[in-house]
Amino acid sequence: MPRESQIISQIRARAARSGRVVVPIGDDAAVVEHDGATDLLACCDLMVEGVHFRSEWSSPSLIGRKALAVTLSDIAAMGGVARFAMASIALPQDTSPGFISDLIEGLFRLADAYGVSIIGGDTSSSPGPLFIDTSVIGECARGRAVTRRGARAGDRVFVTGSLGGSSLGLLLLESGSRLEDIPDDKPADPLCRARREALTKHLAPEPLLHAGRALGESGIATSMIDISDGLSTDLRHILDESECGAVIHASQIPVAGCVHSLRGGDLRIDPLRMAIDSGEEYELVFTARPADRERLAEISRSLGVRVTEIGEVVERKGLYLEIEGSIKAVEPSGYEHKV
């Protein structure tokens, strides 16, 4: 089987761009003309048991939640508002009614939290693993969708939240940690807290819809993407599409607290590498003009979302990392979903 990226390239090449398609296949979501005032956004995301998740790692409710969260995150990355969603679910024959109810409930609860109406879906039995495909329809002001193409030399690179937690969560899951096994009675125990933070980041990512929308509507983000495959891979998508490069500074990368807390244990962790390569973070990385720093700080304050400046866009193509004054090229993590 060819790599996912090769198949996607093939589909992109084949996709004819009709008159109403403003942004075709290849960005976080497609953008199509809607009416005079708004554009329509559409995207879908597939989660396959044994590829993207394992049932025994999580509750059915969190599986359903994450299946929708990752697609909502694509709307966030376009600076849009998510309006409607659909979910197609193929269930192994031995799936219990309780599992199904919990999965659906997890998905609906997240939809409710963001004012998204579930308007369609399909179900089937599966002779193999559990499959969940969610599609989301969103909106943004006409011409205001934030694509991957708008970064310009001189812009600064920003990232929301902190990075590395999801990758650490995956590592913990692989080594047998489970969210439900972390004792509730030690809220102050820093190791328990760090494990909980990492597992939650991986299993229950929050789609940054409010932040994405604010960054889009304000016109501050010149380009944006969500971190599904790792900062080193996703920022490169922006740079490739915008035909420029970037230098990011090691000392400015916001490494997740849990990564620092758990670095000393059995897990052999390089915190910086983990933060740069960690996939499924669903944080937003975006570019903005230096003149907009103050407006950006206001948005960050008013939404309570941490935003960190981590580098600058340069003419020279490629992604470079500055560590203690020396600069080296960053290889993409090559993150492809597998568990």
Residues 163-222 that bind a copy of itself (CB under 8 A): none
Q: Are 163 and 254 in contact (CB under 8 A)?
A: yes
Pairing state of beta strands 38-48 and 117-126? unpaired
Count other Cβ atoms within 10 Å, centred on residue 211.
26
* Assigned token pair, 18: 């009709």
Q: What does the buried/exposed string (b/e) look like for 48-72 if buried means 16 or more CB atoms within 10 Å of the residue's CB?
A: bbeebbebebbbbbbbbbbbbbbbb
Which is nearer to a copy of itself, 137 or 247 (by Cβ)? Answer: 137
Compute the least distance from the CB of residue 110 to a copy of itself, in Å: 13
Using CB under 8 A, which of 104, 224, 255, 319 touches a copy of itself? 104
**Residues of this chain, 299-338, that bind a copy of itself according to CB under 8 A:** 337-338
* Assigned token pair, 322: 């500055």
Count other Cβ atoms within 10 Å, centred on residue 26.
15
Interaction pattern, residues 3-42, with a copy of itself; x per rule: CB under 8 A: -x--xx-xx--xxxxx-xx--xx---xx-x-xx----x-x
Q: Which residues lie closer than 8 Å to 96 by C-beta, 6 or more apart? A: none
Total of residues contacting a copy of itself (CB under 8 A): 72
Helix (H) or strand (E) holding 23: strand 21-23
Which is nearer to a copy of itself, 27 or 197 (by Cβ)? Answer: 27
**Residues of this chain, 64-103, that bind a copy of itself according to CB under 8 A:** 83-84, 86, 88-97, 100-101
141 binds a copy of itself (CB under 8 A): no
Which is nearer to a copy of itself, 102 or 312 (by Cβ)? Answer: 102
Which is nearer to a copy of itself, 230 or 311 (by Cβ)? Answer: 230
Which is nearer to a copy of itself, 127 or 264 (by Cβ)? Answer: 127
Q: Are 153 and 317 in contact (CB under 8 A)?
A: no
Using CB under 8 A, which of 39, 43, 196, 211 touches a copy of itself? 43
Compute the least distance from the CB of residue 309 to a copy of itself, in Å: 31
By CB under 8 A, which span of 111-119, 185-193, 249-257, 288-296 interacts with a copy of itself? Answer: 111-119
Compute the least distance from the CB of residue 266 to a copy of itself, in Å: 29
Q: Which residues lie closer than 8 Å to 146 by C-beta, 6 or more apart? A: 77, 78, 79, 212, 215, 216, 221, 222, 223, 224, 286
Compute the least distance from the CB of residue 6 to a copy of itself, in Å: 8
Which is nearer to a copy of itself, 28 or 197 (by Cβ)? Answer: 28
Compute the least distance from the CB of residue 95 to a copy of itself, in Å: 5
Which pairs from 44-49 meet CB under 8 Å and 24+ separation? Answer: 44/71, 44/133, 44/134, 44/135, 44/136, 45/70, 45/71, 45/74, 45/133, 45/134, 45/135, 46/131, 46/132, 46/133, 47/131, 47/132, 47/133, 47/134, 48/129, 48/130, 48/131, 49/129, 49/130, 49/131
Interaction pattern, residues 232-271, with a copy of itself; x per rule: CB under 8 A: ----------------------------------------
Alpha-carbon distance of 237 to 292, in angstroms, equals 23
Which is nearer to a copy of itself, 7 or 297 (by Cβ)? Answer: 7
**Residues of this chain, 113-132, that bind a copy of itself according to CB under 8 A:** 115, 117-129, 131
Compute the least distance from the CB of residue 63 to a copy of itself, in Å: 15
Which is nearer to a copy of itself, 127 or 183 (by Cβ)? Answer: 127
Q: Are 88 and 123 in contact (CB under 8 A)?
A: yes
Compute the least distance from the CB of residue 122 to a copy of itself, in Å: 4
